[in-house]
Every structure is written in structure tokens, then in C-alpha cells.
A and B are shown apart, each in its own frame.
Chain A
Amino acid sequence: MLLRGIVKPITIADVDAAPPMRQTLARLFSYLRPYRRRMIFTLSIYVLCVTISQLYPFIDRKLIDEHIAINNPNGFYPLLALATAAHAFNWFGVLIRSLLIQRISLGILVDLRRQLFHHVVELSFTFHEREPVGKTMTRFIGDANTINDFLTNQMASVVNDVMSGIVVIALMFAINPVLTVISLFMLPILTLLGLYMRPRLYNGWERVRENSTRFNIFLAENIAGMRVIQAFTRENTNLERFNQANNRVVVEWMKVIILQAWFSPLVELTRSLALVVVLYVAANQLGLGGTALTVGTLVAFMAYINNLWSPISTLTNMYVVMQATLASAGKVFQLLDARPTVTDKPNAITMPRVKGEIVFDHVDFTYDNTRPVLNDVNFTIQPGQLVALVGQTGSGKTTIASLLCRFYDVTGGRILVDGHDVRDVTQRSLRAQIGVVLQEPFIFTDTIANNIRYGRPDASMEEVIAAAKLANCHDFIMKLTDGYDALAQERGAQFSIGQRQLLSIARAILSDPRILVLDEATSAVDTETEVLIQDAFASLMTNRTAIVVAHRLSTIRKADQIVVLKAGRILELGNHATLVQNPDGYYSALVRAQASAGH
């Protein structure tokens, strides 16, 4: 029954069909490679230290039996001096080994995190839209720690424990082979007990952890959404939910505790039992042929049985540690193996200074290979033109803007900027010349000034202020107590959406782009401010190309070219004057709708 139980409760590993264990382990250990020599050196110190310290009971036995008990001071002091010297040496060894292992450990952690970050920022929009931020964060914090702990501390403790076990058993044999064999009789029971219990305890704590995480997510969302909760007077309902979530944690916790509460006393009992049996056998000289129980042997065996028990406990736990590490490693490697869907060609060139001619040449696009988002889109923008994209929600306006920046790759056709296919130039050199204001403004938790100079970190304060004035955010920034040095809260929570949009516009202006893309950049800004910004843009955009996604007619009608989209196809193309010629057209209908709304 015990044996069946050993295999059953492990459920951690089979969640994801992971690659073979050997392969994952090999990859895991590759992180140790740069530290190979240091690690071997450190582990040798572990071996040395554990050997020395396990000699202590052996020496004590000699001191007691051969000197103190028979009143023989000859050699007592030299042996004691030797023992003291050995301990002093050991002290030094323990210090060195912990200094060394920490350095290796932190080195690996930094390597792994740097690799992860480098990889994650290179991943394309497709990945980031799919994966929640919290999940990716876990790879950096929890999983990276687990892997690192396994490679250093766990490795060291295995070496330490195995070595300790070998030395202890050897020394016990040297004292008395028969007693050694007898004292080991409890070990199989202890091992089985450990193998049976450890996975159960581990799984139990995992469930506690899962429930705590769920509780914390619940809480975080409640705190973030407290305004809505209060506005909808949901306090009582949420209090109930809170109690439920909390109770689940408590119930799981107590389940593990019941297991754990009898596990450790039981281990203690097996140890006492082993000692008692050894003493009994020794005292009654059962098959010992004369060697009686001496005080030194009693003292030594008490110590050794003790020293044998703790490594067994840690070693039986290793199986669980391995499972947990493999699970973490699997997830980290999965992330590291995720390939960016948009990549630079090996022979990609740096985009020369952009003049601003843009050609969409029979462009098709789909996000999921089933629903086409763009269908055979064709248009050409001359350098310096202002182009408006018009159409209902979901017609593909934002997609066109995203494709130009090469956040995604077209699934058919091609996009040319100054005659270069955007796939033939490096992403960074292309994007560095395009200023984008995304539909949802994002503000970093940094100072206002740094948020504005985000695209050009070396911009001077004067330039920052000039950009802020153009984007009409200078006034409200100056109303803050710390002005430009005020820290933005998480996602710029203290600003209204309109203000966040204005800050994003200032950011785009300062980056001094050759092509400007505004994706409903002023949807939450009042009309007056919007007009002021448009005037600012008008002077700014001379000789630069601009693509604007907009609902408001005031913006649209100034465009050199208007692209009317419907369900991913170009419905109408032209400027205001030509498009209104067609009274049955979508654009004319739009103009009429907005004009009549004003009266």
C-alpha cells in the first residue's frame, strides 16, 4: 500500500507534456557551465567540512573511553588540541563555502533573468497580447528562483547529505559493525515514510499556495476596483466572497498541517526506537562476542543516529524538489523557446532616413488564420501627405497602422516605405523613425519628464517642455506640486484619459519622427484642445507623412487622402472633395450624420 502511494500523488509534472526529463535537466545544468570550476571547488569544501564534522563523535568516543573513563591522561590533551584545531579549520571552511555558493547562485540568477528579459522584449505583439503580464512576471521571479535554488543550494545539500551518510556509516562500522547494522534497521522505514509523506506534503502546500494566489488576485482586483465596488454598493457581496476565498486557504492549510503534525513526531519516534534497540542489543551483548556497551559508544551512536536521520529526510525530499524544479524549468524554457513572429532578416539593412512614401501593395492580414482582417488593401501615400483612416470599429484601421510599424507581418502582399519592403529593414531602424500614439495611452511609473522623453532619453528639459506645450499638457503639468518631476502612478492613474493621451502625444512629438501615426489619439480630449493640437501638428508635420485614425470630421476633412475601410476592404479612396461627389457613398453618409448631429 505504501509503495502505491509513493507514485500516485505526484501530479505536478504531468500538467504540461514537457520534453523528456533528461533533456530539460541537461539544459538546466548548462546554466552552471560558466561557474563549473568554482562549483567543483565549492563542493569539495562541502565534502571536506562534512567529513571533518562527522569525525567529532568519533573523537569524543575516543576521549571518553580511552582517557576519561579509564582515567588515562596520556594523550588526552594532544587529542583535544587536535579536535579544536579541526573545528577551527571547519569553521573557516563553512565560511568560505557559504560565501562562494552565494556568489555562484546570484550569478546564475542574474544570467537567467537577463536572458529572459532580453528574450521577452524581443517577442512580438502576438505573444504579449496573448500572455498576461502576471504570468510572465512569475517566470522572472518565482520560477527563476526555483531553478537557481536547485542548481546551487539543493545540489550542495545533496552532495553534503550523501557524503555525510557515507562518512557516518563508515565511522559507525569502524566503531562496531554489528551495532551499525542494527541501528540501520529503521532506515528503510524512515525512507518509505519520507517518500510517502513528502510528495503529499508538497502537493498540500502547493494547494495552499494556489489558493493563496487566488486569494491575492481577488484582493488585488478588489483594491484596484474599489471605486466600482463602492459605486455599485457591492460591499456585502464582496465581503462574502472574501470570506469564501480566505476560508479555502485556511481549509487547505489545516489539511497539510494535520499531515505534517504527525509526520515529524513520527520521524522522531523512529529515531528514538533505533537508539533504544541499539542500546538494548549492546547492553545484552547479543552476538557481540564480548564487546560491551561503553559510554563513548553510547555518546557516539546517539550523535550518529541523529546525524543519519536528517540527511535521509532531506534526500527523500529531493524527489519533490526535482519535480518542482522540472515544472519551473519547463515553463521557463517554454518561454525562452517562444519565437518572435516578427524577426529581422539576417541581411536586413538599416532603414535610411525616411522621406515618407508609403505603399500598401495588395496587403492581406489575419490574426488567427481564419478571419481575414485586411483583404487586398492597396494605396499609396506620397511623402508629406496627411492620410485619414475612416471606418467603423473593427474595420481594420488600427491593423493598418500596426502593420506599417511592423508590429505584425502581412500575410499577403507587401508594405513599402521609400521603396523598401518593411521586412527587409531592421525593425528598430524602421520604428525609430515612426512616432506612434497608440489607442490606449500607456504611462510609465517614472517622472513626467522621463515619460515625455521616452523615445529620446537624451532630450533636454527645454525640448521636453516645448513638446509638452505643443501637446497642451504643459499647463496641467505645472499644476502638479512637483511639475515635470512629479512621479506618475501605476499606468498614470492620477491623470484623466484625456491627459494621458496628451502626454503620449508629447512623447511622440519629442521623438521627432519622419512618419507620425495617430490611432484615435485624441478621443478623450475636448474639442478646443484638440483643435490646438491639430494646429500644432500642422506646423510640425510639414514634409512629414502622417497617418491618422479618427472619428471626427474636423480632422478627416483636412487630409490629403481619405481611406474608407469596411470589414477589411477599402470601400472608398480619395480626398474630401472627391469623396463627397458620391452622395450614396459611406463617406457622404458619415458627413451628413455628423453635420445633422450638430443641429
Chain B
Amino acid sequence: MYRLFTFLKPHKTLLIQLIIVNFLLSAMLTVAPLVIKAIVDNVIGKQQFDRLAPYLGLLLLVTFLRASATYFYSYGQNKLGQLVMTDVRLALYRKLLALPFSFYDKEQTGRLMNRVSSDVESTRIFLSQILIESMSHFLTIFFAAFAFLEQDRYLTLIAIVPVIFSGVAMYYAHHHLTEPWTLQHERMAQMSATLQDNLAGIKVVKAFAQEDQAQGRFQDVQVAVRSGSLSITDLWSKRWALIGSIPRFMQLALILVGGQRVMRGEISLGTLVAVLSLSLLLLGAVNALGTQLNSVSQTATAAVRIFELLDEPLTIQSPLPSSDPVAAQSLPIARRVDEWRGEIEYKDVSFIYPTAKAKTLIDINLHIPAGSSLAVVGATGSGKSTLIHLIGRFYDPTSGHMQVDGRDVRSLNLPELRRQIGMVAQDTLLFSASIFDNIAFGRPDASQAEVERVAKLAQAHEFITQMPDGYQTLIGERGAGLSGGQRQRVAIARAMLLDPRILILDDSMSAVDAETEKLLQAAIASVMKGRTTILVAHRLATAQHADHIIVLRDGQIVEQGTHAELDAAGGHYHHVLEMQQMSAREAVASV
């Protein structure tokens, strides 16, 4: 919680200015009742109406000063809030950019979004508003109580009980709602999630004729939201009706006792009038403080979540010269692009996902010479994708070493390493931007000619130019508007534009028809001449031209060699090849 204040440090001057303005505001708040008192006693009481003007002038002056101070306060307070919010958001975003894949495997987009939006928002409100305003409420209470005591002690005693009671009731009213609100937020999130799920999966809902069930589920969650909301508002209504009724009861008590004292001549009528408005001032400040005390605990939980994220260990980052033992031996030296060769070596590499029961990769030893091509085949879930993600350090091996150009990847400058790798993931994620921007994603400064060149190589130019806006066609979220095969080709173009030393294709032609795939492969082969290519494939026809082929099974390399060697060995590869070719051979035989 105290760490939160570090976000205020850069804006100290503004903060101090705001505190001073606030002090003035609270002081001026207590002036008005005293002026009214003077009017009642000195002007009306003595029936000297010609003396009214100076008091009215004073009243106007105070209002005017207060108005100007309020202007400065609300401007400054908002400015501070925006500055702080920008800082916190930026810190979080920087962190998110640096966190490894394993972090994103366990976190959901929605939850992360909440941190960056609502948790940051409550931090902003706390640091820029609540902090200063509670200070000013304290001051108001102090000034008003002082003025009150000055007026009459008996009446102070009368007012003190309801004021304290009200403040405490206010605190608990909010306090008791914290938990119900947390639960309610969860219910509302559940409702949105159900809605989102059913809308995104509407085709499945309809295909399985499950409209009624979907509706039933939605109705269930929204009725849960209603009853949660109702219990909260009921609780709140009861408390609020009580707290809201206190000021008037207090006023009546003050009139009762004060009236008696005025009639007995113990205090002036002006004192009673002043006390009536001072008591409201006091009550307001105490209630506000009661409310704000609560948000302190809420902000604390938000702050905890923010710092939790900021403290999330960066398990994968460029070596720091001082701390990393591996880096200490060989400091990362910036290399020119042409110095990268693209040689890859796995040394006793094993990997296990935190949520898995068994290792995904077991003791992998593999050497991929610079400029060669490797094909990885194996069943669904055999570890192919994990294997290729280790090269760009998207994950680090649990044990063993991963080397590029003869050096442990952990000793290399991370952005530079990744810039050598063109990656086409299995899940081709495109962004809602133009096709041009999507292809130029890794090199935003690329020219139209360069983008067109890679699009042609990726066999995407033709369908892009057939679209109404060509390269400027906007595509939707997750690449909506393009077919699976089209998306894959855009993703391949995006990787090719990087002109990478190492190109990795993770089953990225599965939705492309056979003819197009042939053209695509030829294009890749010509572009990647002398560069390292790794491709994951199910179709052995895709794999067979690779210099080296490995077969993975349950995280281990069970066979490796060239196409001819593996075919001859009569193992798993041969078996799958048989299966894939059998039908084709028979088919040809029957032609």
C-alpha cells in the first residue's frame, strides 16, 4: 500500500499545491455560517439594516474566492489523476510486454484487462482524490468543531453524538457492502462471459439446436445478478434511509435545546443559526470521511493486484551483465545481422509445463546446421510446437541448453535473437488493422513494394488484390473476414517480410489447398536458400524435401534422418507414409 505513494513522487509540487488549496477551501467553508451569525445578531437582532451591506460583501467575496479555489482544485486534481494513471498504466504495459509466454498461458485476457483498467482506475481515484479530500475533510471537521465549541458547548455536546454515529454508520454501511459487491462483480463478469461465449459460439449453439438450453443458462446467470443486486440495494437502502435521516433529527434536537437556551437568554439567536449550519457541515465531512475510509481498503486490494503483476518475475529476459552467471562469462555483444548464421543446437533439453503431469520434451539432442532445413513430424500433442518455441526463448528449457550459433540463447540479447526468427504460429493471430499493416507488423516502415513482394511469395497477392480495398482492406478481430487458408498465407507473408535467418512454420499450411501449398513451398525454398528453415507438418508430402526429418513421440525423438533413410528404416515414419500414400498409389493404379 505504501508503495502506491511512490507513484506520487514525481508530481510532488502539484500535490503540495493541491493540499494548500484544499486547506484554504476547508477554512473558507466555515466562514459563511459565522457571517450569517453576525447578520442575525448585529443586523437583524439590533434592527440596524444599514449595516448589512458589508456582511453581504464579505459573503460574496468568500463565495467568489471559494469558487476560484474550487476551479483550481478540480483542474489540478484531475491533472494529477491523469498523470498518475498514465504512469501506472505505462508501468503495467511495459511489464506485460516483457512477460514470457508461460505467463500468458495461465492468465486470461479479461482478468489482465481488469487490472489495467479498473484496478488502475481505483488507484487513480485514491491517489488524486481520496487522499487529498480526506485530508480536507479532516480539516473541515477540525475547523467546524473549533467554531462549534466557540459558539456553545452544550450544543456541541448535542451534535457530537449524531455526528459520530452517522460517520461510523456510514463507514460500516460501505464496509458491509464490500464483500457483497465483490461477489456481485463476479456474477456480472459471469453474465458477460456467458453472453460472450454464446455469441462467439452461436454457430455451435444453433448447429446442435441448443437455443433453449443456452437461453436457460443465460437466464440463470442474469437472475443471479438480479438477486445479488437486490440484496445489495436493499442493504444499502436501509442504511441510507437511516443515515439520510440523521441530519434532520439532529437539527430538531438543536432547535429544541438551542431554542430553550435562546429563550432563556443564554445564547444569541445568531449562535443557534450558526450552529445549525455548522452542524450540517460537520456531519457532511464526517460522512464523507466514513465513505472514503472504505475505499482505502478497496484501493489496497487493487494495489495488491497491480503490484502482484509488476512483481511477476521476468523469467525470460536479456542477460543482465551483473547478475546472470551465464552472461558473466560472455557479455552479449551486439552483432550485425550478417553475423548471425542460424545454427541451432538442442543439448539434453527437457521441458515441462507448470500445469502438466508429465514432461512435454524429454532429453532432446538435436543439431540443425546453419542454412539447412528441418521437418518435425509427430502426433497431436507430441511436443512439436513446444520444441520450436524454445529457439526464440518463448519458453526456457526446464533443463539442458538451447544454443543458437554455438552460444546459449540465455546469453544472447533477446530482441536481437528474436529479430532473426520469422515465426508462423499454428494459431494465426491477425490484428484488426489493414492487410498491409498486418503484413508489415514486424517492420512498420516497410514499403508497398516490399509488402507486395512477400505477399506474392506467400501466394496471397492474388486474393488480396481481389478484395474491394486491396491491401488497405480492414480485417476484423482475430482476422475475421478471411478464410483460414487466407489467414495462414498473410501470416506467412508477415514472417517473410522480416527476411529472417531462421524461419519457423508451425503447421501453417493446414488450411491451404494442395495446389497452393506446392507453390508456397517452392517460394519458401527459394527465399530461404542458405537460411535455416524449420517446419512442423502432418502431411509427409510437405516434410519430405527437408534436409533432415525428426519424428517426435511423447516428447522424445524416436526417429530421425532424411526422407529416404526414414522410409527405408521401416519405422513409424514409414508406417505413416504408407498410410498417406496407400490410397494415393491405389488410386493411381486404378487410373
* A121 to B195 CA separation, bound complex (whole angstroms): 11
Q: Which residues of B contact A507 (CB under 8 A)?
A: 208
CB within 8 A of A553: which of B113, B381, B476, B583?
B583
* A445 to B251 CA separation, bound complex (whole angstroms): 57
* A450 to B169 CA separation, bound complex (whole angstroms): 46
Q: Which residues of A contact B377 (CB under 8 A)?
A: 526
With an 8 A cutoff between CB atoms, is A593 at the interface?
A: yes
B381:A280 contact, CB within 8 angstroms:
no
With an 8 A cutoff between CB atoms, is B322 at the interface?
A: no
A140:B195 contact, CB within 8 angstroms:
yes
How does the 8 Å CB contact mask read for B264-280 relative to A, with 1 for contact and 0 for none? 00000110110010000
With an 8 A cutoff between CB atoms, is A257 at the interface?
A: yes
B117:A294 contact, CB within 8 angstroms:
no
B445 to chain A, nearest CB (A): 10
B60:A253 contact, CB within 8 angstroms:
no
With an 8 A cutoff between CB atoms, is A33 at the interface?
A: no
Known: A128-B202, A268-B66, A445-B197. A284 touches B49 (CB 8 A): yes
Q: Which residues of A contact B108 (CB under 8 A)?
A: 489-490
B154 to chain A, nearest CB (A): 15
A591:B210 contact, CB within 8 angstroms:
no
How does the 8 Å CB contact mask read for B59-70 relative to A, with 1 for contact and 0 for none? 110011011101
Q: Which residues of B contact A489 (CB under 8 A)?
A: 108
Q: Which residues of B contact A599 (CB under 8 A)?
A: 581
B587:A553 contact, CB within 8 angstroms:
yes
With an 8 A cutoff between CB atoms, is B304 at the interface?
A: no
A292:B101 contact, CB within 8 angstroms:
no
With an 8 A cutoff between CB atoms, is B473 at the interface?
A: no
B576:A63 contact, CB within 8 angstroms:
no
CB within 8 A of B197: which of A435, A444, A479?
A444
With an 8 A cutoff between CB atoms, is A15 at the interface?
A: no
* A261 to B78 CA separation, bound complex (whole angstroms): 10
B58 to chain A, nearest CB (A): 10
Q: Which residues of A contact B484 (CB under 8 A)?
A: 439-440
B387 to chain A, nearest CB (A): 13
A182 to chain B, nearest CB (A): 14
A97 to chain B, nearest CB (A): 9
A102:B60 contact, CB within 8 angstroms:
no
Size range of the chain B interface in the assembly: 35 or more
Q: Which residues of A contact B515 (CB under 8 A)?
A: 392, 593
Q: Which residues of B contact A219 (CB under 8 A)?
A: 93, 113, 116-117
B394:A276 contact, CB within 8 angstroms:
no
B237:A99 contact, CB within 8 angstroms:
yes
Q: Which residues of A contact B385 (CB under 8 A)?
A: 496
B357 to chain A, nearest CB (A): 6
With an 8 A cutoff between CB atoms, is B320 at the interface?
A: no
> Which residue of the partner chain A has the closest CB to B444?
A237
With an 8 A cutoff between CB atoms, is A175 at the interface?
A: no
* A515 to B252 CA separation, bound complex (whole angstroms): 80
Q: Which residues of B contact A484 (CB under 8 A)?
A: none
With an 8 A cutoff between CB atoms, is A146 at the interface?
A: no
Instruction: List CB contacts (< 8 Å) of B217-240 with chain A.
Output: 218-219, 222-223, 226, 229-230, 233-234, 237-238, 240
B580:A598 contact, CB within 8 angstroms:
yes
A307 to chain B, nearest CB (A): 13
Q: Which residues of B contact A237 (CB under 8 A)?
A: 444
With an 8 A cutoff between CB atoms, is B47 at the interface?
A: yes
* A177 to B583 CA separation, bound complex (whole angstroms): 103
CB within 8 A of A268: which of B63, B256, B586?
B63
B49:A132 contact, CB within 8 angstroms:
no
A499:B381 contact, CB within 8 angstroms:
yes
B429:A227 contact, CB within 8 angstroms:
yes
B478 to chain A, nearest CB (A): 8
With an 8 A cutoff between CB atoms, is B36 at the interface?
A: yes
With an 8 A cutoff between CB atoms, is A557 at the interface?
A: yes
B97:A591 contact, CB within 8 angstroms:
no
Q: Which residues of A contact B588 (CB under 8 A)?
A: 591-592, 595
Q: Which residues of B contact A262 (CB under 8 A)?
A: 71
Q: Which residues of A contact B498 (CB under 8 A)?
A: 232
Q: Which residues of A contact B71 (CB under 8 A)?
A: 261-262, 265
Size range of the chain A interface in the assembly: 35 or more
With an 8 A cutoff between CB atoms, is B418 at the interface?
A: yes
How does the 8 Å CB contact mask read for B196-210 relative to A, with 1 for contact and 0 for none? 111111111111111
With an 8 A cutoff between CB atoms, is B181 at the interface?
A: no
> Which residue of the partner chain A has the closest CB to B583?
A554
B199:A302 contact, CB within 8 angstroms:
no
B229:A106 contact, CB within 8 angstroms:
yes
A524:B507 contact, CB within 8 angstroms:
yes
Instruction: List CB contacts (< 8 Å) of B397-445 with chain A.
Output: 415, 418-419, 421, 423, 425-427, 429, 431-432, 441-442, 444
Q: Which residues of A contact B234 (CB under 8 A)?
A: 99, 102
With an 8 A cutoff between CB atoms, is A35 at the interface?
A: no
CB within 8 A of B380: which of A224, A529, A552?
A529
Known: A68-B262, A98-B241, A490-B108. A221 touches B432 (CB 8 A): yes
B47:A125 contact, CB within 8 angstroms:
no
Instruction: List CB contacts (< 8 Å) of B351-381 with chain A.
Output: 355-358, 377-381
- Report the stretch among A82-90, A164-172, A316-324, A380-388 that lies at the interface: A82-90
A292:B510 contact, CB within 8 angstroms:
no
* A586 to B583 CA separation, bound complex (whole angstroms): 17
Instruction: List CB contacts (< 8 Å) of B6-65 with chain A.
Output: 36, 39-40, 43-45, 47, 49, 52-53, 56, 59-60, 63-64
With an 8 A cutoff between CB atoms, is B161 at the interface?
A: no
* A284 to B251 CA separation, bound complex (whole angstroms): 30
* A137 to B85 CA separation, bound complex (whole angstroms): 27
* A430 to B126 CA separation, bound complex (whole angstroms): 57
* A121 to B210 CA separation, bound complex (whole angstroms): 9
Instruction: List CB contacts (< 8 Å) of A494-543 with chain B.
Output: 494, 496-499, 502, 507, 511, 520, 523-529, 531
With an 8 A cutoff between CB atoms, is B496 at the interface?
A: no
- Report the stretch among B242-250, B282-290, B325-333 that lies at the interface: B242-250
* A481 to B385 CA separation, bound complex (whole angstroms): 20
Q: Which residues of A contact B276 (CB under 8 A)?
A: 299
* A431 to B427 CA separation, bound complex (whole angstroms): 29
> Which residue of the partner chain B has the closest CB to A342?
B206
With an 8 A cutoff between CB atoms, is B448 at the interface?
A: no
Q: Which residues of A contact B230 (CB under 8 A)?
A: 102-103, 106
A280:B591 contact, CB within 8 angstroms:
no
> Which residue of the partner chain A has the closest CB to B255?
A63
With an 8 A cutoff between CB atoms, is B131 at the interface?
A: no
A518 to chain B, nearest CB (A): 12
* A91 to B245 CA separation, bound complex (whole angstroms): 6
Extra 10 A-B pairs, beta carbons < 8 Å, given A219-B113, A254-B79? A99-B233, A114-B215, A118-B215, A128-B203, A235-B415, A298-B36, A481-B355, A496-B381, A554-B579, A557-B583
Could you pull out 22 A-B pairs where Cβ atoms are within 8 angstroms? Answer: A68-B263, A125-B206, A137-B196, A216-B117, A221-B477, A226-B99, A230-B418, A233-B415, A246-B89, A258-B75, A279-B56, A407-B206, A427-B206, A454-B204, A481-B355, A497-B507, A498-B380, A554-B582, A590-B514, A595-B581, A597-B539, A598-B541
Query: Which 8 pairs across A and B sit closest by C-beta, in order of nearness?
Result: A265-B67, A597-B541, A595-B584, A232-B442, A455-B208, A95-B241, A498-B380, A272-B63
